[in-house]
Chains A and B, each alone.
Chain A
Amino acid sequence: MDWNQEKIKSVLPHREPFLFIDEILEIEGTQKIVAVKKIKDSEDYFKGHFPGNPIMPGVLIIEAMAQASVILFSLDRPHIAAKQPDYYLGKVKAEFLAPAYPGDQLIIESNKVKFLDSAAITDTVAKVNDRIVAKANLVFSIQQK
């Protein structure tokens, strides 16, 4: 099955306006995933960040990286993901290098560092037109219900 919106939503519990993955471009086994977030003019947060000068908040770029990482985790641990656990972002080490604007396509690459049933670490990069806008190392926990 292709990674259409329906399949993305079968893994991620997030929904609009807090679903930040629109497409999956590439998957390399369980080591790497490349996903896309299309930054629309109509995103609600642009009303306040900032009036007349819309810039995607860095924390939401991190959120998009985390959502891509959850999809990668689901490829590595389908038996865990199938139980629809809660995913909690626990630690972020990030660098923000350039702004992302309405109309940009955020290309998010997430690479597996270490996955366990109860926790995961990924190294992620977000780019716009090959320009790196952010890098982050994410540590998150997986809590089965």
Chain B
Amino acid sequence: MMNNIENEIRTMVSIILEVPVEKLTPDVDFFKDLNVDSLKAIEIVAAFEKKYRIIVPEEDIPKIRNLGQLIEYTKNVTG
């Protein structure tokens, strides 16, 4: 079962990618399965930075390929 932070991230990504939340399973690949391009990726990063008041280093972005990794990343950087 997802907690609040997981639900927040899932909803945020769902809105930006215009993908139903049901399709956003933790391991669905943003780039291969959801056709996320550089424009969508920067939108997710900018929304994420605004919400959690953090800066995501550019080199970290390619490492975040799915919702599960994004949730894990969030937990790490927000403590």
Q: How many residues of B contact A (CB 8 A)?
A: 11
- Chain A interface size, under 10 / 10 to 19 / 20 to 34 / 35 or more: 10 to 19
Rounded to whole angstroms, the CA-CA distance of A77 and B9 in the bound complex is 29
- Complex contact A119–B42 (CB within 8 A): yes
Rounded to whole angstroms, the CA-CA distance of A121 and B40 in the bound complex is 11
- Complex contact B58–A119 (CB within 8 A): no
Q: CB-CB < 8 A to A40: which residues of B?
A: none
- Complex contact A119–B41 (CB within 8 A): yes
User: Which of A114, A120, A139 meets B49, CB within 8 Å?
Assistant: A114
Q: Does B54 contact A (CB under 8 A)?
A: no
Rounded to whole angstroms, the CA-CA distance of A47 and B22 in the bound complex is 51
Q: Does A10 contact B (CB under 8 A)?
A: no
Interface residues of B in 27-60 (CB under 8 A from A): 37-39, 41-43, 45-46, 49, 58
A–B Cβ pairs within 8 angstroms, 8 of them: A91-B43, A113-B46, A114-B49, A116-B42, A117-B58, A121-B46, A139-B43, A141-B37
A residues contacting B by CB (< 8 A) are 90-91, 113-114, 116-121, 139-141
CB-CB nearest 3 A-B residue pairs? A119-B42, A119-B38, A90-B39
